Amino acid sequence: MARLFSPRPPPSEDLFYETYYSLSQQYPLLLLLLVIVLVGLLALLAVAWASGRELASDPGFLTTMLCGLGGFSLLLSLASREQRLQRWTRPLSGLVWAALLALGLGFLFTGGVVSAWDQVSFFLFVIFTVYAMLPLGMRDAAAAGLASSLSHLLVLGLYLGLQPDSQPALLPQLAANAVLFLCGNVAGAYHKALMERALRATFREALSSLHSRRRLDTEKKHQEHLLLSILPAYLAREMKAEIMARLQAGQGSRPESTNNFHSLYVKRHQGVSVLYADIVGFTRLASECSPKELVLMLNELFGKFDQIAKEHECMRIKILGDCYYCVSGLPLSLPDHAINCVRMGLDMCRAIRKLRAATGVDINMRVGVHSGSVLCGVIGLQKWQYDVWSHDVTLANHMEASGVPGRVHITGATLALLAGAYAVEDAAMEHGDPYLRELGEPTYLVIDPRAEEEDEKGTAGRLLSSLEGPKMRPSLLMTRYLESWGAAKPFAHLSHVESPVSTSTPLPEKALSSFSPQWSLDRSRTPRGLDDELDTGDAKFFQVIEQLNSQKQWKQSEDFNPWTLYFREKEMEKEYRLSALPAFKYYAACTFLVFFSNFIIQMLVTNRPPALTITYSITFLLFFLLLFVCFSEHLTKCVLKGPKMLHWLPTLSVLVATRPGLRVALGTATILLVFSMAITSLVFLPAASNCPFRAPNVSFTASNLSWELPGSLPLISVPYSVHCCVLGFLSCSLFLHMSFELKLLLLLLWLAACCSLFLHSHAWLSDCLIARLYLGALDSRPGVLKEPKLMGAISFFIFFFTLLVLARQNEYYCRLDFLWKKKLRQEQEETETMENLTRLLLENVLPAHVAPQFIGQNRRNEDLYHQSYECVCVLFASVPDFKEFYSESSINHEGLECLRLLNEIIADFDELLSKPKFSGVEKIKTICSTYMAATGLNATSGQDAQQDAEQSCSHLGTMVEFAVALGSKLDVINKHSFNNFRLRVGLNHGPVVAGVIGAQKPQYDIWGNTVNVASRMESTGVLGKIQVTEETACALQSLGYTCYSRGIIKVKGKGQLCTYFLNTDLTRTGPPSGTLG
């Protein structure tokens, strides 16, 4: 018993479970145990007084009672102080047990003659409650239970062994006592083990639910960050709802709509300003960069621009290569949108001037701004990017293209909104841009008021270029300088979002440390501010654990009725009652142990009459049949080797476990069998009889009188019948999952039967035994606890109320366990849905092979993602006719209906990506009516270089087939919309650099000469044709495609190029031909 007072180990999950969770369950039981003992002692005094006994004539009994009342009242007052109880759990439990043991030993030697059956029921109560109601571990409870058993056996054995007249009957009685105590220990340990298992399972499910909630919260935060990194908040909510609908309907499917159109998330906004900015000279610089330098340079540049945009209330829309454009006045209208864009443009030019001055790299910034109205939103199904469309957007783009490097080029509409905030000068140039020339409106260049001040300080900024310029490449020099800007990395904000909690993490670290014994047991010693250190997760942890407190069962709850404990939801109540119970077979097995103990006891204390033997033989047969049915699944291997007609036997145990009605019937029948066999020995006696020991001529000297009654029943079997009835009460508690109302009914039935039997119909047996014990002392009366019928009645009531309390507790925790499991399943399903949603969102921003780099347990966003590829095929496919088709009028809702048609085109193109044969095609972006995609991006870096040219570029065929499929899709749309749109496609293949840039709105993109040439192949192409370079034509020919020469054409930035058209009328012809044309 030294472990009761041993020091506590360091904090761990087990310690937390024992000190808080287990205590929160056992605390009310301990209080109830003390209350039951006190009420029992008061009831003893009341019965003694009501029966006319003079308490003063038995000072030993009175002293024991008063000491018991005082001691247990003191223990109750100590236990009522929860903080003190938390600190002294083991010592207090030890004191309660010691007090019960002392009380039982005191009762043994007070009130009359000491007998072997004295206080067996009380010691059985002590043994069972040590397991079921004291906050002790299994080892401590077993030690206390065995010590209680041995103390009773040893004390009575030594005391009664010295008395010759009791010796003949002493050994059978002590053996019967040992069987009773052994059964009590086993039943108590069984009850405790099952409850501990259920409580710990509920505890772990609560923790799992907490982890699941944290994961759910994390996934929600991830989704919010991801969505808001792609879309404005108002649009994110609408699109999230559609994605959830798609996930619920089946991943990838689209919710049914009342029309044949895809959902369109586009709105019109008036009073906005659009800024386009292009880095002049960046293409030449990028050609000198390594992949890492290029991605870092772009991220730092555009990260700086994002910071400037945030400062001036502008929203970046998209990055197109080295072109950056944004809008002010979205999604909320701003009165100063024009000033915001002009300020941003000036700051961008200023940042590039500083960069040029510091590094000596010849780059500049060209900015164009126009104010008007836009259509803004998202089109397509994949790779969402918030975009804007309108004639005003087109004009802003042309303002940038025709602008002056280092200056902000604005229209008259923007100038009117500046209201004199900035001085301007007439652009005074002959527009080479046909679009602006056709408009014929004047344009202006904004004068930067701080430009002169910066020129005076310019020499100081050239320190880096003068010191390191001659030693370093311009690209590396620029990269070094840009790193000092410290732009955030893509998805860096996700690092600060709490990562999903692993289920392997048993408890929050702070929660454990904060619940150390010193803090939890003595709040006065809490370090100042410790409570404040608990983060939100730990606070939720304590909230969840608090919900497990058994005292909650008596309070109002959203889930339970506090009186009946029924679930408030009828469906949940039905599901609970119909749930399977695999442990039922163990309930039946332990009940058989109680039945077997009763059998052994009656065989020891009776003369084993034939009728009793026959009755037990039949009952044993019924029990063996029940156990065979319950455990038949364990005989599967044996049965399957036998005849087929017996193969159905193993299914019996499954039926019992899964059929609630069958379980209730078998459980009730089993308990009733134990009840009936507990009193079988009394059934064979008459209801009334003349006791031979009450005859007036019987002298106390007649020591040779028999202990037997007529009918060959020893008198000592009477108190042991009482003890067998007590075991019958215990059999009810063994069915943990039996409903409380059924247990209450059975316990009431058994209480009424036992009381009527021992207090009424067979009360004379108790009186006869007392007459035999007190021969010759007719005027003396034994104490209350020495009279079997009164002792039995008090024991019955004490066990009835004790087991009723435990039944209520068991019912609550069985239901709580079911509730937490159900909640955990629901939260896990919701978490899985959220994870799928996060994955879909991320894959809508990044390719599937790139997304794992930025999210999940293996998130790696410390470095910028970049990857170089040797052979990537890039496609640009545009619908040039859409520019002419697009118009803004009241008929088409200022262009909205035109965009609806463009949304159908892009969405149909996106649907092709879900086909297995196009799984290698990666959509990059859409630029107005131009669709950009690539193949070969899912290959491992360096893998292509190790393969031969034919194998490494085999994906070019996939891209050609995709281009043809795009044309077919457009033909279908033309047929339904009565249009004549035609596709213009440009293809090129070669090395590219892929990466993710931009912290505010991370964007996956590819760069390189291959991309630029592919874009030129489209812009210089012919409607209905696929134009390719000579190198790509050779590669396609090797794959079995036919190309014919277009001739030499002039390509902007590339000079004269010989290009080819792909013969799309033919499929692969097998072996390649010898020529291209």
What is the dihedral sign for C-alpha 517, 521, 522, 526?
A: positive
Give the angle subtended at the CA of 564 by the CAs of 558 and 570, to the nearest 5°: 60
Can you tell me the distance from the alpha carbon of 518 to that of 1028, in angstroms, rounded to the nearest whole number? 77
Q: How far is CA 603 from CA 365, 591, 678, in A?
A: 106, 19, 12
DSSP assignment, residue 700?
Answer: T
Q: What six digits make up the tokens of 893? A: 């809702």
Cis (ω within 30 of 0) for the bond into 527? Answer: no
Can you tell me the distance from the alpha carbon of 337 to that of 271, in angstroms, rounded to the nearest whole number? 8
Q: How many CA atoms lie within 13 A of 321 on its CB side?
A: 22
Closest of 513, 508, 517 to residue 536, by C-alpha: 508
Q: What string of H, E and C letters represents the secondary structure of 505-571? A: CCCCHHHHHHCCHHHHHCHHHCCCCHHHHCCHHHHHHHHHHHCCCHHHHHCCCCCECCCCCCECCHH
Helix (H) or strand (E) holding 424: strand 424-426
Q: Is there a contact between 806 and 744 (Cβ–Cβ < 8 Å)?
A: no
Q: Is there a contact between 294 and 1007 (Cβ–Cβ < 8 Å)?
A: yes
DSSP assignment, residue 870?
Answer: E
Exactly one of 781, 1016, 1025, 1046 is catalytic; name it: 1016
Can you tell me the distance from the alpha carbon of 846 to that of 838, in angstroms, rounded to the nearest whole number? 12
Tokens 């097995």 appear where? 589
What is the dihedral sign for C-alpha 206, 212, 218, 223?
A: negative
Q: Is there a contact between 938 and 849 (Cβ–Cβ < 8 Å)?
A: yes
Q: Is there a contact between 1043 and 1037 (Cβ–Cβ < 8 Å)?
A: yes
- Amino acid identity at 103: L
Q: Which residues pair with 364 in a beta bridge?
A: 280
Question: Quick check: helix, strand or coil at residue 1056?
Answer: strand
Tokens 């040992």 appear where? 178
Can you tell me the distance from the alpha carbon of 528 to that of 524, in angstroms, rounded to the nearest whole number? 10
Q: Tell me how crowded residue 614 is: count the other CB atoms within 10 A of its CB.
A: 10
Q: What six digits make up the tokens of 18? A: 């024992």
Q: What six digits make up the tokens of 384? A: 């969402």
Identify whether 221 is a catalytic site residue.
no
Identify whether 215 is a catalytic site residue.
no
The residues, ordered by sequence, that sit 6+ positions from 106 with a Cβ below 8 Å of its Cβ are: 60, 64, 67, 68
The residues, ordered by sequence, that sit 6+ positions from 441 with a Cβ below 8 Å of its Cβ are: 411, 412
DSSP assignment, residue 669?
Answer: H
Instruction: Give the β-pairing of 364-378 and 323-328.
Output: unpaired
Closest of 160, 164, 6 to residue 94, by C-alpha: 6
Can you tell me the distance from the alpha carbon of 595 to that of 673, in angstroms, rounded to the nearest whole number? 8
Q: How far is CA 938 from CA 247, 321, 562, 861, in A?
A: 26, 21, 59, 19
Calculate the dihedral angle through the C-alpha atoms of 750, 673, 591, 618, rounding to the nearest 10 degrees.
160
Question: Quick check: helix, strand or coil at residue 448?
Answer: coil
Give the angle subtended at the CA of 596 by the CAs of 591 and 602, to the nearest 5°: 130
Q: Is there a contact between 188 and 5 (Cβ–Cβ < 8 Å)?
A: no
Residue 1055: what are its φ and ψ, rounded to 5°? 80, -145
Closest of 37, 198, 220, 6 to residue 125, by C-alpha: 37
The residues annotated as belonging to the active site are 1016, 1052
